[in-house]
């Protein structure tokens, strides 16, 4: 049907793939071809780089700063954030007055890096510091009154909560009643009412006008460090003392920023780009040991932070000892750092085993319930380890292309974690559920959330969240895979991959370029490692491309690759440099595929 009122037509499906093996519609990344050509010519860049930049809506005049992001140009004045002046003044007074500073951090990578950054800075500035990372099983998420009061008993007169605290009304009120100054440094979505604290520094306060709401907590913590350092300079604290080099800790900031999956745009892009340069110098003993244990032999990239180093830091908080990540990141002794890194690596292997069992049970539960047409999937189980439910929610989101919540039930309540898809704000829905009395605790941001729910309100929560998310939808959820181009297998060259690196670091907000290899034959498919499918892609011209689909052996994608009888397929994914025994080649990380009819 055509004519007035028919509405805008969707872009044509790339390679006519309306529904891939993962259920997605393939589309070319929207790109103004004239803009792409202008970028290429003005900045003397290859056309493919110009096209990738234009597809990411980088303007002609912005390309220089995008390709070379510097903190000099992009780091904001920390005092533009509400509450920063109060926080910096109080903490500078604590340093100069010899007062112990308490740090209460979350147990994920963002919390561990935030805590480690502040601990390193305050100790370098001459202060005494005590760090507390809550045990996920015994204490749960966020500040709790006993831990805050224990920090006070140990001598802390001021406590900074990092990557948590914005929704901790009761614990912070109890701390205030005991005379403890609390400074909240966070980035999670806030309500109109803020908790009782000396101040709350959070770019996502409802009364905040900052344009930097995309900062991870470690980014906010870095701004706090800059602010306190400036106050100490103004007070003459560093006369006769060494001034801390704040740039040396950007490797820690980069790790937390990448792993919290915040957009790698603006100041975040500068923090990660500069942090990767610092990390390459291997000055942090803990990060160097973690890199070695994870088998990272090349110059670190955002991929290594998100998929090799981050999961190991996270493993301590998930299934091991919650404070291991902070201890590793603040370790100066190489032998101790190696010992801690190996412990985290062992916990990560334990986590993978636990995750596999829970994931299978969650998939069976979701598929036995069938598709009821709502945008939310919610799975709950007895004896599911709370340390892996966030990962499971992410895996389900990837598999079913819709928001997912996973709940570990224990007694009369359950601890839950959720992950969402672009365009549906799960954090806001969770906060609304808590305000409606359906949750004991809950908070988060658009793409991720955590909560505690009474067992007998689980069905009510499911219905409430489904209704809230449905109200946010402009139409049916149609998962789309955007691709930056189409290649023959022989066109995936080392030169192409090296050229595309100019657009990095890649991550949320600046996705790694994805390409489709059209009409390829799948040769020698086999299962490797923990459910990965490896193969060779042979193009029409005879060119070969090494490829692997991670955790795909039990999926429709994996089944199709393994059962391929030589029938041509379109295969989509990102391209990586593969170095093995001195040989340098290109490997595709397969994300999707479709028959080449």
Please provide the distance, in angstroms rounded to a whole number, between the alpha carbons at the two ends of the chain.
Answer: 26
Any domain includes 139: yes
- 430 plus 315 within the same structural domain: no
Any domain includes 349: no
Any domain includes 260: yes
- Assign residue 76 a region: left if phi > 0, alpha if psi is -120 to 50, beta otherwise? beta
Take residue 237 and report the two structure tokens written for it. Answer: 């604290």
The answer to whether the CB of 141 falls within 8 A of the CB of 134 is: yes
Peptide bond into 505 cis (omega under 30): yes
Q: Which domain holds residue 34?
A: 30-56
Res 373: pLDDT:
78
* pLDDT tens by residue, 312-345: 999 998 888 999 999 999 999 999 999 999 999 9
- 25 plus 44 within the same structural domain: no
Any domain includes 52: yes
Any domain includes 254: yes
- 464 plus 520 within the same structural domain: no
The enclosing domain of 383 has a CATH number of 3.10.310.30
Res 138: pLDDT:
87
- 424 plus 278 within the same structural domain: no
Q: φ, ψ for residue 592 (rounded to 5)?
A: -165, 165
Res 239: pLDDT:
95
Give dist(CA 258, CA 510) in Å, integer: 11
* pLDDT tens by residue, 369-421: 888 778 999 999 998 999 899 999 999 998 888 999 999 999 999 999 999 98
The answer to whether the CB of 393 falls within 8 A of the CB of 419 is: yes
The enclosing domain of 237 has a CATH number of 3.90.1640.30
Which of these three, 344, 362, 387, is where a domain ends? 344
- 81 plus 120 within the same structural domain: yes
- 542 plus 571 within the same structural domain: yes
Domains contained in the chain, number:
4
- 225 plus 320 within the same structural domain: yes
Res 579: pLDDT:
83
* List of residues 6+ apart from 468 with CB closer than 8 A: 428, 429, 432, 433
Element (H, E) at 148: helix 145-153
The answer to whether the CB of 418 falls within 8 A of the CB of 426 is: yes
- pLDDT < 70 regions, the chain: 1-10
- 580 plus 465 within the same structural domain: no
What predicted TM-score, i.e. pTM, was given to this entire model? 0.87
Res 8: pLDDT:
43
- 462 plus 510 within the same structural domain: no
* List of residues 6+ apart from 377 with CB closer than 8 A: 366, 396, 400, 402, 403, 404, 405
* List of residues 6+ apart from 556 with CB closer than 8 A: 21, 22
- 399 plus 505 within the same structural domain: no
- 147 plus 271 within the same structural domain: yes
The enclosing domain of 543 has a CATH number of 2.40.50.460
Q: What percent of the chain has pLDDT over 90?
A: 85
* List of residues 6+ apart from 501 with CB closer than 8 A: none
Any domain includes 462: yes
Which of these three, 415, 443, 472, is where a domain ends? 472
Res 374: pLDDT:
84
* pLDDT tens by residue, 513-540: 999 999 999 999 999 998 999 999 999 9
Which of these three, 329, 344, 359, is where a domain ends? 344
Helix ranges (DSSP H) in 281-388:
285-293, 302-304, 310-319, 324-329, 334-369
DSSP secondary-structure letter at 591? E
Any domain includes 436: yes
Any domain includes 360: no
- 236 plus 315 within the same structural domain: yes
């Amino acid at each position: 049907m055509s004519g007035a009122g028919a509405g805008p037509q969707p872009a044509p499906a790339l390679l006519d793939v309306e529904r891939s093996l993962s259920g997605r519609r393939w589309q070319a990344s929207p790109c103004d071809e004239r803009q792409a050509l202008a970028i290429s010519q003005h900045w003397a860049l290859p056309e493919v780089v110009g096209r990738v930049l234009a597809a990411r809506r980088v303007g002609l005049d912005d390309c220089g700063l995008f390709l070379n992001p510097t903190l000099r140009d992009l780091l904001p004045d920390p005092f533009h954030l509400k509450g920063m002046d109060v926080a910096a003044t109080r903490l500078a007074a604590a340093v100069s007055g010899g007062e112990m500073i308490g740090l209460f951090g979350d147990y994920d990578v963002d919390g561990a890096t935030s805590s480690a950054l502040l601990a390193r800075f305050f100790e370098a500035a001459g202060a005494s510091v005590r760090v507390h990372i809550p045990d996920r099983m015994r204490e749960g998420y966020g500040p709790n009154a006993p831990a805050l009061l224990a920090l006070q008993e140990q001598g802390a007169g001021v406590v900074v909560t990092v990557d948590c605290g914005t929704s901790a009304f009761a614990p912070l009120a109890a701390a205030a009643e005991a005379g403890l100054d609390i400074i909240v440094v966070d980035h999670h979505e806030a309500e109109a009412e803020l908790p009782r604290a000396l101040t709350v520094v959070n770019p996502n306060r409802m009364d905040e006008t900052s344009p930097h709401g995309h900062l991870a907590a470690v980014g906010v913590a870095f701004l706090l460090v800059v602010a306190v350092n400036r106050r100490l300079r103004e007070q003459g604290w560093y006369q006769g003392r060494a001034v801390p080099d704040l740039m040396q800790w950007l490797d820690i900031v980069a790790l937390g920023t990448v792993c919290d999956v915040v957009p790698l745009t603006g100041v975040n892009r500068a923090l990660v780009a500069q942090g990767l340069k610092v990390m390459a110098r291997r000055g942090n003993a803990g990060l160097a040991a973690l890199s070695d244990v994870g088998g990272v032999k090349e110059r670190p990239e955002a991929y290594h932070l998100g998929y090799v180093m981050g999961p190991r830091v996270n493993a301590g908080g998930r299934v091991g000892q919650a404070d291991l990540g902070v201890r590793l990141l603040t370790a100066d002794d190489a032998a101790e750092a190696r010992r801690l890194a190996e412990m985290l690596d062992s916990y990560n292997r334990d986590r993978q085993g636990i995750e596999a069992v829970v994931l299978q049970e969650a998939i069976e539960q979701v598929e036995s319930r069938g598709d009821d047409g709502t945008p939310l999937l919610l799975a709950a189980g007895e004896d599911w380890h709370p340390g892996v439910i966030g990962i499971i929610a992410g895996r389900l989101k990837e598999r079913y292309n819709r928001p997912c919540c996973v709940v570990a039930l224990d007694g009369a309540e359950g601890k839950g974690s959720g992950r969402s898809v672009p365009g549906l704000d799960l954090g806001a829905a969770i906060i609304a559920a808590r305000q409606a009395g359906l949750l004991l605790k809950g908070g988060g941001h658009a793409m991720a959330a955590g909560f505690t729910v009474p067992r007998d309100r689980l069905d009510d929560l499911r219905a409430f969240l489904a209704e809230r998310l449905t109200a946010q939808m402009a139409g049916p959820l149609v998962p789309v895979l955007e691709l930056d181009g189409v290649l023959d297998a022989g066109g995936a060259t080392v030169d192409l991959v090296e050229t595309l690196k100019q657009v990095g670091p890649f991550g949320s907000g600046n996705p790694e370029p994805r390409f489709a290899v059209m009409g390829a034959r799948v040769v020698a498919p086999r299962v490797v490692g923990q459910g990965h499918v490896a193969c060779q892609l042979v193009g029409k011209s005879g060119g070969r491309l090494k490829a692997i689909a991670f955790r795909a052996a039990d999926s429709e994608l994996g089944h199709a690759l393994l059962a391929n009888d030589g029938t041509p397929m379109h295969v989509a994914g990102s391209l990586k440099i593969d170095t093995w025994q001195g040989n340098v080649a290109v490997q595709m990380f397969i994300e999707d595929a479709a028959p080449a009819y």
